[in-house]
C-alpha cells in the first residue's frame, strides 16, 4: 500500500464534504479491503539483460497474462504498445482495476500526507484520500477501462467519485461489472453530506459471479421487484459500510448468499436487527454500528462474533442504547466480544466460548456490578480481554449512571466466586490502562483468585510507557498481591496505536489463520501484523 500512501492530491470532492461526512468516509475507507496490486512493487526483471535480448516476450501466453493481471491498470494498458506479441495480452488477461491508479503521475506529486495524519488517519488511508481528492476526469477513465476490456473482471476497486454527479456512469458501471463477471468488487460513493442518499442500482444483484463484495455509503436498492431472481450464489465475503438499509433489506441480502463465510457491518448510522440463520457463516463483525438486536438463531459453522463499538438503539427512547444479543445454536463459536455490560443484554445458549472481550468502565458502578454476572455466563473461557474505558467520558444510555458507590478490592471479593476466573482463565489482557484505583484493584483481584492464570498482559493507554511513573506505580502495587499462581507472568506494554482506544483490526478478524483475532499487539499504524 506504500504506492497509494505516497500519491499526493487535494481535489474538490473531499474538500466539499462537511466535517462529519469526512469522518464517516474515513471509517468507510479503512474498512475496505486493501487492493491486491501496487504501483510501488519492485520489478525483479527491471535490470536490462547484457545481451539486450527480450526474453519476457518469449514466455508462454498464459504467463504473460498472469504478469499483466498483476500490474496497475494504467501500466497494464501500456503493455499493448510494447510489441506485437503484447498487443492483445491486456485484453485477454482478467482485469484488476483500482481507480486511483488511473490518475496521472503529475496530478498526485509533491504534497505532504501530514495534513491527513494529523487527524488520525493511517498512512495507507491518508494516501488514498489524497488520491480521492484528485477526481477530475477519473470517472471518464473508469468508464473507458470498463468498456474497453472484454472481461472477465478479477477485481475492481472504485472509491474515487461522488456518484451523485455521475448517475449515467453509475448505471453503466454496474451493468458492465455484471456482464463481464466481476469476482471481487469494492465500491464506495464519496457523498458530500450525511443526508445525501443515493441508491446503488438493483442491477448489482446481477453480479452473480461475485465472491467478495464491499459497498460503502449507499442506500440499499429496492429489493422487492427482483426478489425472485436476485442472488449471490458464490459470495463468500460481504462488507456493508455506512449502508442505509432496513431490517428486511439485510435479511433479504443474507438469504441470497448461500455460501457466505464472512460478514461485516461497519459505520452504520441506521439501526438494524441482525438475525443469523446460516450454515456457512464463520465470522461476523459489527464495528462502529447501531444495532437494535443481534440474534444468532442457528449458525452451525460460526466461530467468531466480533463486536467493536456496536451500540444499541431504541426508536422510542433516544437515551436508551441497550442492545439484545441472543445466541442460540452456535456450537463452534469460540470468540465473542467486545460486550458492554449495561448496554448489551445477553441471552446465550449452549456454547463453548474460549475467548471473551469486554468494554468496561471499571470505576462505574452499574457496569462493574454487572461484570461478574457476564463472566458467570462463560464458565469455560481461557482468555479474557478487558478494554478499560475512561470513566470521565459520559455517553448516552443506562451504562453511564451510578458512579457514587466505591469500586475497590472489597467490591470484587464481595461479588462471590466466579468459576472461569478461579479455574479456567489462563490469560488476561487489560488494555487502555490509565492507573486508576479501580483498574489496580481489579487486576489485584484477578491475580489473587485466578489459580491457573499464566499471563497477565497490561497495555497502557496512548501516551504512556511501561518505563514511566505510571508503569512504576503498577509494578509497585501488584508486588503486594498474593498471587494465586506464583508462576504467572505479568507483562506491561506500550500501546501500538497512534490514538487512544483504537484497538481493533478487522483484517485479523477475517483471517482464520490468526489464532486470536483480538490480539492486535503486532499491528502498528497501517500495518497488520498477521
Region label for 188, one of left (φ > 0), alpha (ψ between -120 and 50) or beta (otherwise): beta
Indicate if the pLDDT at residue 52 is higher than 60.
yes
- Write out pLDDT tens, residues 243-287: 999 898 999 999 999 999 999 999 988 888 999 999 999 999 999
3 state SS of 482: coil
What span, in angstroms and rounded, lies between the C-alpha atoms of 206 and 456? 51
Secondary structure, 3-state, 84-125: HHHCCHHHHCCEEEEHHHHCCCHHHCCCCCHHHHCCCCCHHH
Indicate if the pLDDT at residue 117 is higher than 50.
no
Indicate if the pLDDT at residue 110 is higher than 60.
no
Confidence at residue 210, expressed as pLDDT on a 0 to 100 scale: 97
What CA–CA distances, in Å, run from 185 to 32, 136, 165, 369? 10, 22, 21, 46
Which of 97-106, 173-182, 184-193, 370-379 is predicted least confidently?
97-106
Confidence at residue 266, expressed as pLDDT on a 0 to 100 scale: 94
Angle at 10 between CA 7 and CA 15, to 5 degrees: 140
- Write out pLDDT tens, residues 195-206: 888 999 999 999
What sign has the CA pseudo-torsion 133, 137, 142, 143?
positive
Phi, psi of 11 (to 5 degrees): -130, -175
Phi, psi of 60 (to 5 degrees): -60, 155
- Residue 407 pairs in a beta bridge with none
3 state SS of 28: helix
Residues of the chain with pLDDT > 90, as a percent, come to 44
- Write out pLDDT tens, residues 289-338: 988 899 999 999 999 999 988 887 766 555 557 788 999 999 999 999 89
Confidence at residue 62, expressed as pLDDT on a 0 to 100 scale: 84
What span, in angstroms and rounded, lies between the C-alpha atoms of 85 and 79? 10
- Write out pLDDT tens, residues 384-421: 999 998 877 655 444 444 445 678 899 999 988 999 99
Q: Compute the chain's Rg from CA coordinates.
A: 25
* 220 alpha-carbon distance from chain centroid: 20
3 state SS of 73: helix
- Write out pLDDT tens, residues 433-458: 999 999 999 999 999 999 999 999 99
Confidence at residue 297, expressed as pLDDT on a 0 to 100 scale: 94
Q: For residues 225 and 273, which has the higher predicted lDDT (pLDDT)?
A: 273
What sign has the CA pseudo-torsion 439, 443, 449, 452?
positive
Confidence of residue 104 (pLDDT cuts 50, 70, 90): low
Region label for 121, one of left (φ > 0), alpha (ψ between -120 and 50) or beta (otherwise): beta
Indicate if the pLDDT at residue 511 is higher than 80.
yes
What span, in angstroms and rounded, lies between the C-alpha atoms of 329 and 351? 8
pTM recorded for the entire structure? 0.87
Helix pair angle (123-132, 19-31), 10° resolution: 120
Amino acid at each position: 500500500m506504500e504506492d497509494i500512501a505516497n500519491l499526493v492530491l487535494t481535489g474538490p470532492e473531499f474538500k466539499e464534504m462537511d466535517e462529519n461526512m469526512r469522518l464517516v468516509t474515513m471509517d468507510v475507507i479503512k474498512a475496505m479491503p486493501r487492493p491486491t496490486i501496487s504501483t510501488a512493487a519492485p520489478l525483479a526483471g527491471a535490470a536490462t539483460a547484457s545481451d539486450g535480448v527480450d526474453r519476457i516476450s518469449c514466455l508462454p501466453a498464459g504467463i504473460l497474462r498472469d504478469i499483466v493481471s498483476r500490474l496497475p491498470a494504467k501500466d497494464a494498458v501500456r503493455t499493448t504498445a510494447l510489441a506485437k506479441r503484447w498487443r492483445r495480452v491486456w485484453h485477454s488477461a482478467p482485469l484488476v482495476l483500482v481507480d486511483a491508479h488511473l490518475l496521472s503521475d503529475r496530478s498526485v506529486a509533491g504534497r505532504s500526507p501530514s495534513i491527513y495524519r494529523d487527524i488520525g488517519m493511517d498512512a495507507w488511508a491518508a494516501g488514498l484520500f489524497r488520491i480521492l481528492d484528485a477526481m477530475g476526469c477519473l470517472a471518464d477513465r473508469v468508464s473507458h477501462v470498463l468498456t474497453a476490456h472484454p472481461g472477465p473482471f478479477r477485481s475492481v476497486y472504485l472509491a474515487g467519485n461522488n456518484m451523485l454527479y455521475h448517475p449515467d456512469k453509475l448505471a453503466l458501471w454496474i451493468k458492465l461489472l455484471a456482464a463481464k463477471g466481476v469476482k471481487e468488487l469494492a465500491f464506495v460513493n464519496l457523498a458530500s453530506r450525511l443526508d445525501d442518499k443515493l441508491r446503488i442500482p438493483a442491477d448489482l444483484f446481477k453480479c452473480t459471479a461475485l465472491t467478495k463484495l464491499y459497498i460503502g455509503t449507499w442506500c440499499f436498492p429496492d429489493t422487492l421487484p427482483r426478489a425472485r431472481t436476485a442472488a449471490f450464489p458464490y459470495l463468500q465475503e460481504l462488507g456493508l459500510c455506512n449502508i442505509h438499509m432496513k431490517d428486511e433489506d439485510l435479511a433479504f441480502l443474507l438469504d441470497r448468499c448461500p455460501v457466505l463465510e464472512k460478514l461485516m457491518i461497519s459505520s452504520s448510522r441506521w439501526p438494524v436487527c441482525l438475525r443469523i440463520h446460516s450454515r456457512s457463516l464463520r465470522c461476523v463483525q459489527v464495528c462502529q454500528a447501531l444495532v437494535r438486536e443481534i440474534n444468532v438463531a442457528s449458525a452451525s459453522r460460526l466461530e467468531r462474533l466480533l463486536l467493536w463499538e456496536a451500540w444499541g438503539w431504541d426508536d422510542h427512547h433516544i437515551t436508551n442504547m441497550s442492545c439484545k444479543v441472543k445466541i442460540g445454536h452456535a456450537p463452534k463459536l469460540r470468540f465473542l466480544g467486545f460486550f458492554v455490560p449495561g448496554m448489551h443484554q445477553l441471552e446465550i445458549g449452549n456454547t463453548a466460548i474460549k475467548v471473551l472481550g469486554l468494554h468496561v468502565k471499571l470505576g462505574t458502578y452499574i457496569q462493574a456490578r454487572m461484570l461478574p454476572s457476564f463472566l458467570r455466563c462463560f464458565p469455560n473461557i481461557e482468555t479474557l480481554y478487558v478494554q478499560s474505558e475512561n470513566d470521565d467520558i459520559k455517553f448516552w444510555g443506562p451504562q453511564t449512571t451510578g458512579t457514587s458507590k466505591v469500586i475497590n478490592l472489597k467490591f470484587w471479593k464481595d461479588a462471590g466466586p466466579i468459576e472461569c476466573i478461579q479455574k479456567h482463565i489462563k490469560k488476561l489482557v487489560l488494555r487502555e490502562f490509565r492507573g486508576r484505583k479501580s483498574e489496580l484493584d481489579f487486576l489485584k483481584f484477578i491475580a489473587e483468585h485466578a489459580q491457573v492464570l499464566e499471563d497477565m498482559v497490561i497495555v497502557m493507554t496512548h501516551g504512556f510507557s511501561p518505563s514511566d511513573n505510571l508503569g512504576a506505580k503498577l509494578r509497585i502495587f501488584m508486588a503486594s498481591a498474593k498471587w494465586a499462581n506464583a508462576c504467572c507472568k505479568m507483562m506491561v506494554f506500550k500501546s501500538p496505536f497512534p490514538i487512544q482506544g483504537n484497538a481493533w483490526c478487522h483484517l485479523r478478524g477475517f483471517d482464520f489463520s490468526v489464532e486470536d483475532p483480538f490480539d492486535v499487539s503486532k499491528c502498528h499504524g497501517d500495518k497488520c501484523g498477521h
